[in-house]
A and B are shown apart, each in its own frame.
Chain A
Amino acid sequence: MAGDFTRTLDMGAQKRSIWQSLHIDLPLLVLLLMLMSTSLFVLYSASGENLSMVYRQMVYFGLGLFIMFVVAQFHPLWFQMFAPWAFTAVVIALLLVLLVGVGAKGAQRWLSVFGLFRFQPSELMKLVMPMMVAWYLASKLLPPSFKHIVVTLLIVFIPTFLVMRQPDLGTSLLIAAAGLLVLLFAGLSWRYILGAAGAALVIFPMMWLFVMHDYQKQRVLTFLDPESDPLGAGWNIIQSKTAIGSGGIEGKGYLEGTQSQLEFLPERHTDFIIAVFAEEQGLIGVVLLLLLYGAIVMRGLYMASRGRDTFDRLFAGALIVTFFIYVFVNIGMVSGILPVVGVPLPLISYGGTSIVTLMAAFGVIMSVYMHRRV
């Protein structure tokens, strides 16, 4: 093993480029920078030409790139070693959130650290969850046995449940998805997948009847028929669909989107930013953006599959697919094919937390790929 490792370094030394020594994948970096430029471009319009918001977003991107760079320098073995400790720590933090957390609008999502700053442990769990499951399954025979599947589900369930209690349904589902994706990449048998899908069909009506709060039911109903509450929850969807639809093929032109410029669109610089983009750039712009996201996901999957070992592949694979789920859920919600859950559009929406978490994930993917065996 040690010899292998040394040889790799020797071989690498001969054709090592500057990017390799920095552990940065140039194609992925270029794609991410394209996405970031798009974000700044759209944000200027979506914020009502608010330059200071654009500058702040640039600072977040700079911070994100720095974090990605730092994370990429860690050898994946470090992640593997720290996985159980990190997981335990974040679960404890989630418990603390429920006990002593601070919050707003009826939800408790933050921990205040000595009153100096606040942080949201559920954001960290988005990274730690696939890391933990990958750590667990990497030591087992794959495809996983029933027993291991049950243990995995338990690992997934605990933080999911804690986040759901905050309550933050959207984030908890995405955390669960990140964990389950690892299981999928580990070769979960189709029997179980189909079985789970069947169970979901049974469970949903039960949840509807016995578990869901009225406001949650209302949200689902509003999704099914936004016109039923045109000034309330339906307003957002009606306005964002109107923005998108009225963009047509070519769009209304940069800074010309009447829906967004005239403030009909809610949360137009955060969760609903794609509607601004779709209104102003039209179908052509949206398809180009989707292609950019597709390219990032494909590059990410390729990099994950080149991972050093099972842990690396599972961890990186789950992260990149989670990234795509964010994209799908956000655009699906804004365009009215999914219910409204608070999910930002990755690396386009305004906001530092999401950018830092996502860039840390890309740091992991880069680490996995750049520290691979050649």
Chain B
Amino acid sequence: MKHHEIDQYAKQSPLCNFDPRVKIASTVIFIISIALLRELTPLIISLLFLLLIVAASRIPPIHIVKSYVLALPFAVFASLTMWYSSGSEEAAAMFLRITDSVLALILLVSTTPFFEFLKALRWFKVPAIIISLLLFTYRFIFVFIDELERMKLAREARGFNGGKSLLNVEALRTIAYTAGMVLVRSHSRANNIYSALLSRGYTGEVRTLSHLRAKPRDAVFAAAFIGMSLMSLFIQAGVIIWTL
């Protein structure tokens, strides 16, 4: 599988041993506090805090940069228009706010295996149908990506070059047929997979061998993130006077 690297770091980083519930809750609180920040000082301190954690997490920087680039179009566009309409300080705050929250989210997603997420989400009372759907979908995605890669290779071998514009009917037809074929193949696969599941006693409940247990170090994790969030908000409110 070509895309196996998607949650590769989720199993190597020292951060992956923390309880996923604690990680999700702390990150959510942290990102909410970032969303409330308008001043530069707390945003810069939060950024330094995150960079420190990133360094400790031992996630390869290239992986972080790749995920960060996904959010860049919105961040750049929004900051530029903000510069024009509100001024440079608001623009910088906007850019830092997006950067901080994107970094925090990347930290969370690249150090938490997807199945840990599902367990935590179940604990947070997300409906069972959504959890099993997430589980199945996640599993099937990799199968289809492989399928798609094979079809892409075959397409290119026959001379397909992606087309140049929306007016290229042939290119659009090929793309649509590829997408349609992914769906047809997946549909016939669904029945097989479902029969296989039934024959192993699947009833719709997902059971795992390991159970979630919060440890003292999870309290340290939560304290660091929530402490940082509170500090940022206090700095903004003027309770803590900070001179850089």
User: Is the A/B pair a real complex?
Assistant: no
Residues on B lying within 8 angstroms of A by beta carbon are: none
Residues on A lying within 8 angstroms of B by beta carbon are: none
